[in-house]
C-alpha cells in the first residue's frame, strides 16, 4: 500500500469538479480545493465533503499538499503550475497545456530542479480500447500506417450548456473548437502514429449561438510517412468520435462512444473486434486519476508527458496560424521559440 496523497484541485468548474470526484473515487487522496468563486467553492465543497477550501492560491500553497490538479482556464495553467512546483507539488495539468509557449521552458526547468513530476490530462490516453489499438499498430501485424482519418462531432450546447459564459467564448482563454475539442483528437492521433510535422487548416464559426469562435474545423497533416485528416464540429446532433488508421496490410478503427476498436485486413470481409468494454460516465477519468497516482508512486510512466502536451500545444497554435496565413505550418517552430 502507498501513502495517501494530499491533493489540491485548483479550479472547480465542470472539469475541475469531475477531477475532484474521480480522484476521490480512487480512495487514495485527501482532497482540498482552491476556487475564486465563493458560491461555487461552497457548493462543490458541500456536495463532495471537502473540508479544506481556499479562496486564493497563495493561501492554498502555504498549507502542505503533495500534488495539484490545475483545472483553471488554459491561459492560467503555466503560471499556476510554476507556483505549485515552487511550493513542492507534483502536477496534473488539464488540457491544453496552455494557449502559448510563454513560461513552458521555465516550468520544465523548475520541475527538474525541484525533482517534481507532471502529466497532462488528455483523457483519450486512458481509454483501454485506444491503448489496445496502439499496441496492435505497434506490433507490426498491419504493416506501416499510411493514412489517419479522424472524424468527430457533438451537440456542444447539450453537453456544455454554459459555454457562452465560460472560457470557451474566447481563444485567449482556451476557447473555440481547436483548443477545446479538436486538441483531444490531435493528441490521440499523435499518440497512435507520431507527431504532426506540418499541417494546413481551415475553420469557421458556423452555428453555435452566442459566441463567435470557431465551431467547425478541418485539418490536413503530415506525420512522418502518414497523411492525416481531421474533421470536427460542435453542433451536429450525433455525438461521435472515430479514429481510423489505414496501414499497408489492413486498417483499424477506434470509436469512442462504442468503447471499442475494430480491425479488418481483407476486402469485403467482416470487421473483427480487437477490444470492447462497457464504460460508465466517469470510468476514463477515474482510470486517468489512478494512472497519475501510480505515476507519482513510480509504478508506471505518465499517460501523457509534459513534452507530449507541449507538442500538441504546438499543433493547436499551428492550426490557428495556418488559418490566419492560409498556408502550411510546421509545429516545431513553436516548440523552438
Pair 230, 241: CB distance under 8 Å: no
For the record, the C-alpha cell of 107 comes out as 516550468
Q: Does an H or E element contain 335, and which?
A: helix 332-335
For the record, the C-alpha cell of 55 comes out as 479562496
Return d(Cα 198, Cα 206) in angstroms, integer: 26
Q: State pTM to two decimals.
A: 0.95
Query: What is the full per-residue pLDDT of the chain (337 aa) written as tens digits?
Result: 568 999 999 999 999 999 999 999 999 999 999 999 999 999 999 999 999 999 999 999 999 999 999 999 999 999 999 999 999 999 999 999 999 999 999 999 999 999 999 999 999 999 999 999 999 999 999 999 999 999 999 999 999 999 999 999 999 999 999 999 999 999 999 999 999 999 999 999 999 999 999 999 999 999 999 999 999 999 999 999 999 999 999 999 999 999 999 999 999 999 999 999 999 989 999 999 999 999 999 999 999 999 999 999 999 999 999 999 999 999 999 997 6
∠63-306-149 over CA atoms, to 5°? 135
Helix (H, G, I), strand (E, B) or coil at 134: helix
Domains located in the chain, CATH noted: 5-116 (3.40.50.720), 128-279+311-335 (3.30.360.10)
The two beta strands, 260-264 and 29-34, are unpaired
CB atoms within 10 A of CB 281: 8
Pair 206, 125: CB distance under 8 Å: no
Q: Does an H or E element contain 191, and which?
A: helix 183-193
Amino acid at each position: 500500500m502507498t501513502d495517501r496523497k494530499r491533493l489540491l484541485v485548483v479550479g472547480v468548474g465542470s472539469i475541475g469538479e469531475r477531477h475532484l470526484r474521480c480522484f476521490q473515487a480512487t480512495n487514495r487522496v485527501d482532497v482540498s480545493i482552491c476556487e475564486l468563486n465563493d458560491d461555487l467553492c461552497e457548493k462543490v465543497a458541500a456536495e463532495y465533503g471537502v473540508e479544506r477550501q481556499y479562496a486564493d492560491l497563495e493561501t492554498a500553497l502555504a498549507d502542505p499538499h503533495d500534488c495539484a490538479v490545475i483545472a483553471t482556464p488554459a491561459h492560467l495553467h503555466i503560471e499556476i503550475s510554476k507556483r505549485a512546483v515552487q511550493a513542492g507539488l507534483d502536477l496534473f495539468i488539464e488540457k491544453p497545456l496552455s494557449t502559448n509557449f510563454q513560461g513552458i521552458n521555465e516550468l520544465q526547468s523548475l520541475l527538474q530542479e525541484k525533482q517534481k513530476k507532471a502529466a497532462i490530462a488528455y483523457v483519450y490516453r486512458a481509454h483501454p480500447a485506444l491503448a489496445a489499438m496502439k499496441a496492435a499498430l505497434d506490433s507490426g501485424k498491419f504493416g506501416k500506417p499510411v493514412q489517419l482519418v479522424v472524424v468527430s462531432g457533438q451537440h456542444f450546447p447539450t453537453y456544455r450548456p454554459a459555454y457562452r459564459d465560460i472560457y470557451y467564448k474566447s481563444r485567449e482563454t482556451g476557447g473555440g473548437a481547436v483548443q477545446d475539442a479538436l486538441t483531444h483528437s490531435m493528441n490521440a492521433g499523435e499518440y497512435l502514429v507520431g507527431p504532426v510535422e506540418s499541417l494546413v487548416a481551415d475553420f469557421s464559426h458556423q452555428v453555435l449561438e452566442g459566441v463567435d469562435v470557431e465551431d467547425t474545423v478541418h485539418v490536413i497533416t503530415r506525420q512522418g510517412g502518414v497523411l492525416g485528416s481531421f474533421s470536427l464540429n460542435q453542433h451536429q446532433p450525433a455525438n461521435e468520435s472515430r479514429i481510423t488508421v489505414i496501414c499497408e496490410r489492413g486498417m483499424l478503427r477506434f470509436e469512442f462512444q462504442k468503447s471499442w476498436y475494430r480491425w479488418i485486413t481483407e476486402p469485403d470481409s467482416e470487421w473483427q473486434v480487437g477490444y470492447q468494454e462497457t464504460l460508465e460516465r466517469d470510468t476514463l477519468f477515474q482510470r486517468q486519476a489512478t494512472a497519475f497516482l501510480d505515476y507519482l508512486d513510480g509504478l508506471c510512466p505518465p499517460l501523457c508527458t509534459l513534452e507530449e502536451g507541449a507538442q500538441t500545444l504546438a499543433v493547436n497554435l499551428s492550426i490557428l496560424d495556418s488559418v490566419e496565413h492560409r498556408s502550411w505550418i510546421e509545429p516545431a517552430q513553436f516548440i523552438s521559440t
